């Protein structure tokens, strides 16, 4: 009895009849149960129908893995109708990850030599779609045989299968390389197309093959020439009047690969390329496709200069085409050219900028990339203006790219510092949330470095902040600036901006608003609090308001803010005498490289390690350290400590309000304080004439022994009434046998002119052992403290 | 190389899904949905190229699509294919479908999904362009259909005979056929009904 099973059409009808997703699922589940039962019962006659239904529901997204073995059975069947569905199922359901796929290798092998063209074609198709490396290796010889078949249908399929095989098993290149030359003599377009694809794949994979196929360049030129000539015109293959554009494009691409960096080949192509470039009818898409490929080829090979100019001009013409597709491809191609033919592409800059205004997102994205690549020092002002206009209206996903692009361009080509600051300001105002994290650090550094623009910057930033406190990067920079240069803000006029009369109270109110706003990130709040603190020394009025705010935040829930507030509070109360010095203006921040970073880290470590030293100067030193941390805070982005760390170094100097005077020749005698196993420590002393309370000690460590001294760290401690500052040592390794000594500078402030006492602690590795020495320096010359 | 060929209608229902690079089933469905959403957002008078979605390969891949009445034909290709060339290829494919189905419409694709696959296999194979000459493709498809029918003729005969018998309306048949001198007694065939 014949089992009643739905035909594929009927099943589809039923599925379409389902009104809801749930109904559809029900229908399909019922049918899948039938299909499974049918597979189990093994009805061979209708198996293909069941699999066809299964493939349909698979396309809709339902599981179909239980059909995999059925594919194998169908492929093994002698009937074409079975094989057809079976192979389709194999291509859709099987892949390298299932072991089942290897089982069809034998079937494919048999079908490849079967003699019925359609069946052989099916086998080749399946092999080229899902053939794994093992399958390709097993069946390589069969495919090779088919390349020499009489039927062009089989040959064209075999050639493309060969391409797939080479991709899976690169060693097979050697098998398929010899036959290519013969295949190039084909008349059949399909086979020719496949052959060109094969040769392209071979050349892309191996330089040896590339060299080998350079020989066929003349042949390729001839084929292409025949195609474009009127005698070679083949109506069958023509698309809107262009003779087989697919083949033309493939040949052009192969010529590009063969002619790249090769004078001789490029030369033989020149005429043909010129001919194609000028004669191709571009009224329809097909011709444009060919022309584009020609242009790309001309530009990539060593073509004649005149030809290159022609190519770029063709692209420029395409930019003005009304067809959006053509404009898109033109923009993409120009982007590829912009490195090699920059000046030629520059000529089309106005058109490119026009394309920025396209409503089409794909086009405007391409135009943006190209515009950014075209910015140079002569057009930077105009281009930045255009790009800023674009930034205002562009879709959100392009904002980040646009903003960073503008900032990068500004950095590279800024004509003046003021313009640079203006540009960054505008970008931050418009798209602040989309800029990269280091924009804030960059801007603060830029402003810090442009001393003449401090007043200008702080005014601009103040106005911007007064209008909008939501753009976080802008708020952070503005807060920092107001804190640093608040006095300039209140001073009065600045020639470069309109006169802005700002009251102290307004400034404080603004910063308080930033502090309290729910839009402010914790980092921003930190900036604002520190700025308020700095203003306490810059403003002339009394500090009650500031003190109030600071003490309120002493109980803030955010731990970072709380710590700052508490420390600032202490600064107001116990250490008021130091407040002015601590909150002085920061020196110019160096763009920190990794070396500066290390140095500073070492000095910070060294100063921190002072704490465990059993010396009564401890509380003061540790307070010093906390304050150092404090001052590191506002100028540090949580993500980018690098460029700002060096400021800690600089801050230390200003902390003590001491100029870094060059060391005058020391009248005070040097002192040897330590010697052990060839490592010697010498102290030299300088009393700079301008500052009677300062003593500069230079510690020099020399190594006369046979072994290197590594991880050398020297720490010092002084009595309570003194103030000590360790600068970064020159290094931490003293090479053996009189290698370059390590020096470190200690600055000692002695306001009370008390007798100097100095304790040193050394840690280092020498001869594989770690050594620690603590000792007091005796016999310090009187001149060091009197 | 062509990574995937997707055909879906204006509501996102898939009509043809063919991947030339292996993705697990859930990812395949996700890609179809994501592609549909990307393509749906496009106006009709902007360019036919889209940067690929995040699931298919990333920045090297583009979606090249054409909208025909109720169907979107989307080819996902990498940078080695000529964009304008693929536009023409889509056109060739659709025209071939038109020739094979005689004024093809969405229903043809729905009800003959397998046949559409077979036609596609003659145009694109293994992610590469195989043949663009419409006459050749159509000739090949017709040869295959003939092969299928000829086979089907031999093995389907028993099935046809059986269904013919089933369709005989036995209760209606006269018990006796009297034509002139002849009297034919019709056997009782009810057990075959």
The SS3 of residue A664 is coil
Best residue in A289, A314, A357 for a mutation probing chain B (most B CBs within 10 Å): A289
pLDDT in tens, A597-637: 444 444 444 444 433 333 333 344 444 444 444 444 344 33
Residue of A nearest to B87 (CA): A285
Contact B126 A56 (CB under 8 A): no
Q: Is pLDDT of A544 > 70?
A: yes
Q: What is the mean pLDDT of chain A?
A: 80
Chain B residues in contact with A249 (beta carbon < 8 A)? 82, 85
Residue of A nearest to B140 (CA): A118
| Whole-angstrom distance, CA of residue B130 vs CA of residue A194 | 7
| Whole-angstrom distance, CA of residue B54 vs CA of residue B77 | 14
Where in B69-155 does DSSP place strands (E)?
71-77, 124-125, 128-129
CB burial string B165-174: b at 16+ within 10 A, e below: eeeeeeeeee
DSSP string, B13-61: -EEEEEESS---HHHHHHHHHHHHHHHHT--TTS-SEEEPPTTTTSTT-
Q: Is pLDDT of A516 > 70?
A: yes
- pLDDT value of position A529: 86
Any A CB within 8 A of B51 CB = yes
Which of these, A400, A432, A427, lies nearest to A519 by C-alpha position? A432
Any A CB within 8 A of B153 CB = no
Chain B: give the shortest CA distance to residue A127, in Å: 8
Contact B128 A325 (CB under 8 A): no
pLDDT in tens, A760-773: 888 888 888 888 88
The correct CATH number of B2-151 out of 3.30.450.60, 3.30.1330.10, 3.90.930.12, 1.10.1200.10 is 3.30.450.60
pLDDT in tens, B73-102: 999 998 888 889 999 999 999 999 999 998
- pLDDT value of position A589: 64
Contact B47 A363 (CB under 8 A): yes
pLDDT band at residue A656 under the 50/70/90 scheme? very low
Any A CB within 8 A of B20 CB = yes
Contact A426, A388 (CB under 8 A): yes
Contact B17 A59 (CB under 8 A): yes
The pTM assigned to this predicted structure is 0.69
Q: Provide CB contacts within 8 A for A449, sequence distance 6+.
A: A417, A588, A589
Q: Which two tokens stand for residue B72?
A: 């979107």
A134: left (phi over 0), alpha (psi -120 to 50) or beta: alpha
CB atoms within 10 A of CB A5: 18
pLDDT in tens, A21-46: 888 888 888 888 888 888 888 778 88
Three-class DSSP labels, A532-596: HHHHHHHCCCCCHHHHHHHHHHCCCCCHHHHHHHHHHHHHHHCCHHHHHHHCCCCCCCCCCCHHH
| Whole-angstrom distance, CA of residue B85 vs CA of residue A330 | 14
Q: H or E element: which one contains A340?
A: none
Strands A709-717, A694-703: pairing is: unpaired
Contact A324 B135 (CB under 8 A): no
Could you say which of B22, B111, B133 has the minimum Cβ distance to residue A189? B133
pLDDT in tens, A577-589: 787 777 777 776 6
Chain A residues in contact with B130 (beta carbon < 8 A)? 156-157, 160, 190, 193-194
pLDDT in tens, A279-301: 888 888 888 899 999 988 888 88
| Whole-angstrom distance, CA of residue A493 vs CA of residue A501 | 8
- pLDDT value of position A630: 42
Could you say which of A60, A88, A292 has the minimum Cβ distance to residue B114? A88
Task: Report percent pLDDT > 70 for chain A.
Answer: 87
Chain A residues in contact with B18 (beta carbon < 8 A)? 92
- pLDDT value of position A601: 42
Tracing tokens 């994979």 back to the chain, one arrives at A205
The SS3 of residue A657 is coil
Chain A residues in contact with B113 (beta carbon < 8 A)? 55-56, 59
Chain B residues in contact with A2 (beta carbon < 8 A)? 159, 162-163
Chain B residues in contact with A156 (beta carbon < 8 A)? 130-131
Any A CB within 8 A of B68 CB = no
Rounded to 5 degrees, what are φ and ψ at A321?
-65, 150
| Whole-angstrom distance, CA of residue B66 vs CA of residue B42 | 11
Contact B82 A156 (CB under 8 A): no
Residue of B nearest to A82 (CA): B148
Could you state, in order of their start, the residue ranges of all structural domains in chain B? 2-151
Residues A462-485 have a mean pLDDT of 83
Q: Which of A95-109, A447-461, A651-665, B22-36 has the lowest mean pLDDT?
A: A651-665
CB atoms within 10 A of CB A579: 17
Q: Is pLDDT of A526 > 50?
A: yes
pLDDT in tens, A707-755: 888 888 888 888 888 888 888 888 888 888 877 888 888 888 888 888 8
- pLDDT value of position A233: 66
Structure-model confidence comparison of residues A763 and B170, the more confident one:
A763
Any A CB within 8 A of B145 CB = no
Q: Is pLDDT of B175 > 80?
A: no
The correct CATH number of A671-784 out of 3.10.20.740, 1.10.3720.10, 2.60.40.1230, 3.40.50.300 is 2.60.40.1230
Helices (H), A260-304: 263-279, 285-300
Structure-model confidence comparison of residues A511 and A666, the more confident one:
A511
Any A CB within 8 A of B142 CB = no
Residues A423-447 have a mean pLDDT of 81
Question: With 0-12 CB in 10 A as exposed, 13-18 as middle and 19+ as buried, what is B190?
Answer: exposed
DSSP state, A289? H
Residues A304-318 have a mean pLDDT of 86
Q: Is pLDDT of B192 > 70?
A: no
Rounded to 5 degrees, what are φ and ψ at A87?
-65, -40
């Amino acid at each position: 009895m014949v089992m009643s099973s739905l035909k594929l059409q009927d099943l589809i009808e039923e599925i379409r009849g389902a009104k809801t997703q749930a109904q559809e699922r029900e229908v399909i589940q019922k049918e899948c149960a039938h299909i499974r039962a049918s597979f189990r019962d093994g009805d061979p006659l209708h198996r293909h129908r069941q699999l066809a239904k299964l493939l349909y529901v698979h396309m809709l997204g339902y599981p179909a893995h239980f059909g995999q073995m059925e594919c194998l059975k169908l492929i093994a069947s002698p009937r074409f109708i079975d094989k057809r569905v079976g192979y389709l199922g194999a291509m859709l359901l099987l892949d390298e990850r299932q072991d089942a796929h290897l089982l069809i290798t034998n079937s494919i092998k048999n079908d490849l030599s079967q003699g019925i063209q359609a069946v052989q074609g099916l086998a080749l198709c399946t092999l080229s779609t899902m053939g794994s490396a093992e399958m390709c290796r097993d069946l390589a010889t069969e495919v090779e045989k088919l390349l020499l078949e009489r039927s062009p249908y089989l040959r064209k399929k075999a050639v493309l299968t060969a391409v797939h095989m080479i991709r899976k098993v690169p060693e097979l290149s050697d098998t398929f390389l010899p036959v290519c030359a013969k295949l190039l003599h084909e008349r059949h377009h399909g086979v020719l197309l496949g052959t060109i694809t094969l040769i392209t794949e071979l050349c892309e994979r191996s330089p040896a093959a590339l060299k080998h196929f350079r020989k066929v360049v003349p042949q390729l030129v001839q084929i292409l020439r025949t195609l474009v000539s009127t005698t070679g015109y083949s109506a069958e293959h023509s698309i809107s009047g262009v003779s087989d554009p697919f083949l033309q494009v493939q040949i052009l691409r192969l010529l590009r690969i063969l002619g790249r960096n090769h004078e001789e080949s490029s030369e033989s192509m020149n005429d043909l390329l010129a001919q194609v470039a000028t004669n191709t009818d571009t009224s329809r898409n097909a011709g444009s496709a060919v022309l584009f490929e020609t242009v790309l080829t001309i530009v990539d090979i060593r073509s004649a200069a005149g030809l290159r100019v022609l190519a770029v001009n063709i692209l420029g013409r395409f930019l003005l085409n009304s067809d959006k597709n053509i404009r898109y491809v033109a923009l993409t191609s120009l982007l590829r050219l912009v490195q090699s033919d920059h000046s030629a592409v520059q000529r089309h800059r106005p058109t490119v900028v026009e394309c920025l205004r396209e409503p089409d997102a794909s086009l405007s994205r391409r135009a943006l990339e190209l515009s950014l690549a075209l910015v140079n020092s002569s057009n930077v002002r105009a281009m930045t203006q255009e790009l800023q206009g674009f930034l205002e209206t562009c879709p959100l996903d392009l904002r980040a790219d646009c903003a960073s692009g503008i900032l990068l361009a500004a950095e590279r080509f800024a004509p003046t510092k003021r313009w640079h600051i203006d540009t960054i300001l505008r970008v931050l105002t418009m798209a602040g949330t989309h800029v990269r994290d280091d924009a804030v650090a960059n801007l603060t550094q830029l402003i810090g470095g442009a001393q003449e623009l401090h007043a200008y910057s702080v005014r601009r930033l103040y106005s911007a902040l007064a209008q909008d406190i939501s753009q976080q990067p802008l708020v952070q920079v503005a807060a920092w600036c107001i804190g640093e240069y608040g006095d300039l803000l209140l001073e009065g006029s600045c020639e470069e901006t309109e006169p802005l009369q700002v009251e102290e109270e307004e400034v404080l109110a603004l910063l308080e608003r930033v502090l309290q706003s729910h839009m402010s990130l914790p980092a921003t709040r930190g900036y604002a609090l520190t700025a308020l603190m700095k203003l306490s020394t810059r403003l002339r009025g009394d500090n009650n308001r500031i003190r109030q705010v600071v003490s309120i935040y002493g109980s803030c829930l955010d731990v970072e803010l709380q710590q700052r507030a508490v420390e600032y509070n202490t600064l107001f109360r116990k250490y008021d005498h130091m407040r002015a010095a601590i909150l002085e203006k920061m020196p110019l921040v160096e763009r920190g490289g990794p070396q500066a970073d290390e140095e500073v880290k070492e000095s910070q470590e060294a100063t921190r390690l002072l704490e465990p030293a059993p010396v009564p100067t401890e509380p003061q030193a540790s307070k010093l350290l906390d304050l150092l941390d404090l001052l590191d805070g506002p100028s540090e982005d949580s993500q980018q400590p690098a460029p700002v760390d060096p400021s800690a170094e600089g801050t230390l100097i200003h902390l003590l309000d001491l100029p870094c005077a060059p060391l005058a020749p020391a009248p005070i005698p040097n002192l040897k304080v330590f010697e052990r196993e060839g490592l010697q420590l010498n102290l030299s002393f300088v009393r700079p004439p301008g500052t009677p309370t300062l003593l500069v000690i230079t510690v020099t460590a020399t190594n006369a022994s046979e072994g290197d001294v590594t991880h050398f760290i020297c720490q010092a401690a002084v009595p309570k009434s003194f103030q000590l500052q360790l600068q970064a040592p020159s290094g931490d390794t003293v090479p053996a046998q009189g290698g370059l000594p390590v020096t470190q500078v200690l600055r000692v402030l002695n306001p009370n002119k008390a007798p100097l006492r100095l304790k040193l602690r050394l840690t280092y590795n020498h001869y594989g052992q770690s050594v620690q020495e603590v000792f007091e320096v005796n016999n310090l010359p009187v001149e060091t403290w009197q | 190389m062509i990574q995937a060929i997707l055909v879906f209608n204006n509501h996102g229902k898939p009509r043809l899904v063919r991947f030339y690079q292996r993705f697990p089933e859930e990812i395949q469905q996700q890609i179809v949905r994501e592609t549909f959403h990307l393509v749906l957002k496009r106006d009709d008078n902007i360019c036919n190229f889209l940067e690929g979605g995040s699931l298919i390969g990333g920045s090297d891949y583009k979606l090249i699509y054409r909208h025909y009445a109720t169907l979107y034909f989307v080819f996902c290709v990498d940078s080695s294919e000529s964009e304008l060339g693929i536009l023409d290829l889509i056109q060739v494919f659709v025209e071939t479908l038109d020739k094979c189905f005689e004024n093809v419409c969405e229903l043809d694709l729905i009800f003959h999904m397998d046949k559409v696959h077979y036609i596609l296999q003659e145009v694109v194979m293994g992610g590469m362009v195989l043949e663009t000459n419409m006459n050749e493709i159509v000739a090949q498809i017709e040869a295959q259909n003939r092969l299928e029918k000829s086979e089907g003729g031999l093995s389907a005969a028993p099935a046809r005979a059986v269904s013919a018998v089933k369709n005989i309306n036995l209760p209606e048949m006269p018990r006796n056929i009297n034509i002139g001198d002849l009297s034919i007694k019709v056997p009782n065939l009810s057990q075959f009904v």
